[in-house]
Structure 1
């Protein structure tokens, strides 16, 4: 994971700087000083970054309980393995993100998964993260939305357990197919060839 300062840490540092500035200024006066123009501009920028917009409300469409029909292609040219599952999706953190909790089967064993999706006001892109009991890695991808096809397309990379150090490009497609249904597709690129290795058809319960 790349070392970086999180939004939470940056907000905490900004608040601390403003608080210390105001505290030092008010030490010689009982009247709290007004925030400077720079401080007001910084606070307004943070408010815009945290604001809920149409892209966030758009993701609220996925709220609810879903039946999953899962197909997984383990080898090219072979029929897919079929599994079933249930997913529950809800808005969290004031509606800024959507949380998915998955329960199903994988290779005949129970499998749980947890995912979050949202829209980053600063980058202007959607972000999706996923983790489950099949790995200790957290998969992160970024994408965009096409209104004409009602499709989100995300791209990321995953490490290949069978080839230590190798990174596999991944493309994820989320497409609304009806008022109570959508499909999720997972594509992997290996040796320069992209192929679909998983598809999940969701039906609202």
Structure 2
């Protein structure tokens, strides 16, 4: 009898949880969230971009420079902006990134995944209106287990140009690792 009671309770909880989850998925976003400035700003990046990647492989040496393209697409009802980046280099490079905005906290969140990272890179940040720059910080763990502080600047030059700079801190020294210069197609 006790086993039957536990089984019924488990089924009721599972059904209730499924109903709550289904209600949350089908609920539209409140207008205040769907129409806020942060999401509108992100939507302005939608479209196809030409990319010039500068990659610093060795400190003190010039960067490796390669061409690429990026497609920015609003997803999930405009709550996130997806980037599909492809760079033509010695070894073809592909990455997916997502950036979203929480209007309650005024925090932007970005997640980045690429062919060279074992784990997704998660960073949080804010937008500085004065210099038109999104600034993110986080950390990543490499294959050797080393956790490294990371920082990213996403500087908007005008409606058709922006630059992303990605930094890592190793041995107490921050260094620019990648710069991506975007031009709208």
Q: TM-score if structure 2 supplies the norm length? A: 0.80
Q: How many residues end up aligned between the 2 structures?
A: 165
Distance 1:136 1:189 in 2: 18
Deviates more, 1:151-160 or 1:115-124: 115-124
Q: What root-mean-square deviation, in Å, do the aligned CA atoms of Structure 1 and Structure 2 show?
A: 2.4
Match of 2:152 in 1: 172
Deviation (angstroms), 1:50: 5.3
Distance 1:166 1:202, change over 3 A: same
SS in 2 for 1:62: coil
Q: TM-score if structure 1 supplies the norm length? A: 0.73
| Unmatched tracts of structure 1, length 5 or more | 1-11, 20-42
Match of 1:6 in 2: none
Match of 2:51 in 1: 68
| Unmatched tracts of structure 2, length 5 or more | 1-15
Match of 2:83 in 1: 100
Match of 1:192 in 2: 172
Deviation (angstroms), 1:15: 5.7
Deviation (angstroms), 1:51: 4.0
- Confirm or deny that 1:154 pairs with 2:136: yes
Distance 2:126 2:18 in 1: 30
Distance 1:95 1:160 in 2: 32
Contact 1:139 1:158 in 2 (8 A): yes
1:57-80: CA deviations, max 9, x gaps?
111111110011000111111110
Contact 1:172 1:184 in 2 (8 A): yes
Match of 2:70 in 1: 87
Deviation (angstroms), 1:97: 0.9
Which of these two proteins has the greater Rg computed from alpha carbons?
A: 1
Deviation (angstroms), 1:122: 4.1
